[in-house]
Structure formats: structure tokens, C-alpha cells
Amino acid sequence: MKTYTKVFPNGVRLVFEKVEVNRPATVLIGVDTGSCNENEKNSGISHLIEHMSFKGTSKRNAKQINIEFENFGATANAFTSKFSTCYFATTLNESVEKCIELLGDIVFNSVYDEDELEKEKSVIFEEINMYEDLPDQIVLEEYSRLFYTNTPLERKISGTKDSLKNITRNDILDYFNKFYVGSNIIVSIVANLKFSEVVDLVKKYICCHFKKKATVVEKNKSLVIVPDSQFSFLKREVAQTQVMFGFPADNIFSSDLTTYHLFAFIFGGGMGSRLFQKVREEHGLVYSISCFPFLHPLGGDVSISFATNEKNVKKALETIKFEIDNLVQNGFSNEELDRAKIFWKSLVISSNEQGANFANSNFKSLLYFNKLISTSQRLAQIDSVSLDDLNRVARKVFNYCNMCGCLLSNQPDQSVFDIFK
């Protein structure tokens, strides 16, 4: 497979991955805006625009959009994150042009009908209700609010019912005109076509929406959020106590980015990880447990989360703390590092087999770094991580002074995190 990139005069960026015949094609249009670009008043507007983009354009109504995707065998979807909004479809190779045209239409020609807007707000209210019935999601949102207090990351991607109620069609148009500009648009395509053909299609169906010349602004690479240590205790009728806590990490531009992923995988990312083996396999305290790094342009954190019987929370936390302290004092082993490298290289290579994953990975490379990071470069980054790198990051992360945590339970014990003091 071969990868090509191009920046058009209006700032639109294209990344194209040529794949073999008889492989599905993926078209992704990504926008460099998400909930981090919102404020308290318009919280949730990025996600609302994503929903409204499928509700009708100047050429098609919502039903026609859905039927047309199915007519040429495409599976279409979209998602909003803290930092981006993406619209994508996987289709047959011979339908790539139709797919680009239709995605371009819904992203850039949506009419944002006011009646549809009110109906879609109700749909999102139900989405919010759904997440509020999920204990692990409640804890995740509360943890994010604690860790990223007074930063754009503390707000929910979906917004709140109160903020959504007050968003008008004019608010949407103002936000769209501010952020849906050429320099914020990245088109990522995986298909069996010539690069020249793809360039012509993007010119015809995407670049036509942007007449002004524009340049891409480099992201600030020096931001790192270090929160004040704080804890939250939520009372709910639940079958299991949900726990999540975490520590500050570097931002996504860190030279240790790959090291963070290997470190988290070894410590709590797989069935062979230290936390899984100790907390689940040896003590039988949880069904699952995870250690996850979230590195982004504004900083980062490494979090640990699990659910357990209310009476086992303290023992689980004591077991985790013992593993943390042991790791900081004695470090990882070469055997653990070698196993993690093999796993992550396998993950990188296998993701190449799925066009949607490849398209999203290429999109993120341009979004954050404004350059393509090839598969061979990713593999080389994994191979370059040393045991000293791994242990240095572990010692850096596990600082109890900056720890934040959240617990949700029938009868929350507000002393359980005291073992980390």
C-alpha cells in the first residue's frame, strides 16, 4: 500500500491510501473542531451539528440521504470527540465518487431545518438519558470534570439538556462558519484508485465549498494540564461500585507518546497485564480492570478504572496501590516490554486490514501533527522504546500528589482514597 498527501490552496488537506483490488473503500471527512471549541453557553453544539448533518441538505431530505447511502452499498456514520468531528462511510470501490459527493453534501450543504433541529434535540436528550443509566459512563464524565476543571475538556461532548435547549439555528450557522473552514478540513480516503483521480474528486466535491486561500495553523505543543488533587463520591443504586482515578501525563506531542501506550498496556491494558493478573486472576475482585492513557493537545492523563462489589473496593485499591508502588520501586522487566512490543506491532499491522481504521489513523496524524506517520514509522517508534524509557514514564506518572478520583456506589465510603495519601 502507498500513501499520498496533498494540501490544497484553500487549506483542505487530503491523505490517500491506495489499497488492493477487492478491498472495501473508506471516505472520511474530518473537521478540526469538537467540544473543546465550545463554551458553557453552546456546549454540545459540535455534536448537535454532527446529528443535523444527516437531517437534510439543499438537495436531499433525511430519508433520501439514508436510502442513497444504502443504494450504493455504503455504511455511513459520524462521531464527535473533544477535538474533532468526523463523517465517514465504507463502500464498494466503484462507489467512491458517489460517496464523496454525498458526504460532501451532508457536511457542507445541510439546511439545519428548525423543525428537524427541535426533533434532533429530543433524540440527543434520549442519548443523554441512556448514558445517565450507565454507571461507568457517569464515573467517566465525573472523572473528566474533576481532572480537567476550568479547561475546555471538563464539558460533556453531548452538552447538557439546558445548553442544548437554548441553541438556535443561527448559533449553529455561526459556529459552522467559524470552524467548518478549509484549513480545518481533512479528507482521508482509502481506496483502489489513482491518486490523481482522488485529487480530482476532492476538488470537485469538497474544495468547491472553500474559495479563499488558507494555511493550516500549527498547534501549540507546550500545553500540559496538571490538576489539583480532588475526589468525588456519587450515590446511586447500583449492583457494583464503579471506581476511576488517574494521574497527569504529557500531551500528545511528547516524544514518549508510544512509551505511554506500552506502559499502560503492560500495567493494565491486557489479560497478561499486572493489574489483570493480580486484581482479577489472583484475588478475584473484578471482572475487568483497565489502565488507559489519554494524551491530547491540551495535556493528558493515565487513568485506572474498575467495578467491584462494594465490600471489595478497599481491598482492590490496596492491591492496585501495592502494584503501583512495586512498579515505581522495581520497574518493568525486559520480558514484559518484549511482549508489549510484539502485541502493539501486531495491532498496527492488523489495523491496516480495515480501511475505516486506516482512514481514521491517517486523519489523526494530520489533525495533530500535520504530517503523515507511516506504518513503518509507527513500528520503528515501538521498537525504539527502551526499558529505561518505560520505567522513567511509570515513575513520572504515578505521583499521588496530583491524583484525581471518582467513586459511584450505594453507600460511598469517602475514606477509600486515603490509602494514597
pLDDT at 305: 98
Q: In percent, how much of the chain has pLDDT > 90? A: 87
pLDDT at 212 over 90: no
* pLDDT score recorded for residue 27: 97
Q: Which DSSP string corresponds to 222-260?
A: -----PPPEEEEEE---SSEEEEEEEE---TT-TTHHHH
38: left (phi over 0), alpha (psi -120 to 50) or beta: beta
* Grid cell at residue 171: 448559533
Assess contact for 419 and 323: CB atoms under 8 A: no
How is the beta sheet containing 241-248 ordered, strand by strand?
230-235, 404-409, 241-248, 299-308, 289-296
Q: Which residues are 307's β-sheet partners?
A: 242
Calculate ∠ Cα 401-403-408, nearest 5°: 145
Of 145, 155, 137, residue with least CA distance to 236: 137
Range from 119-133, 148-162, 347-361 carrying the lowest mean pLDDT: 347-361
Mean residue pLDDT across the chain? 94
Q: What is the mean pLDDT of residues 201-217?
A: 92
Mean per-residue pLDDT for 378-391?
97
Q: Is the pLDDT of residue 354 over 70?
A: no
Q: Is the pLDDT assigned to residue 21 strictly greater than 80? A: no
Please check the confidence at residue 360 and state whether its pLDDT lies above 80. Answer: yes
C-alpha 405/C-alpha 284 separation (Å) is 23
Cβ-in-10-Å burial (0-12, 13-18, 19+) of 367 comes to buried
Phi, psi of 411 (to 5 degrees): -135, 85
220 has pLDDT over 90: no
Mean per-residue pLDDT for 223-229?
79
Higher-confidence position of 315 and 357: 315
Average pLDDT value for residue range 373-402? 95
For residue 46, give the nearest of 76, 77, 85, 78 by alpha carbon.
Answer: 85
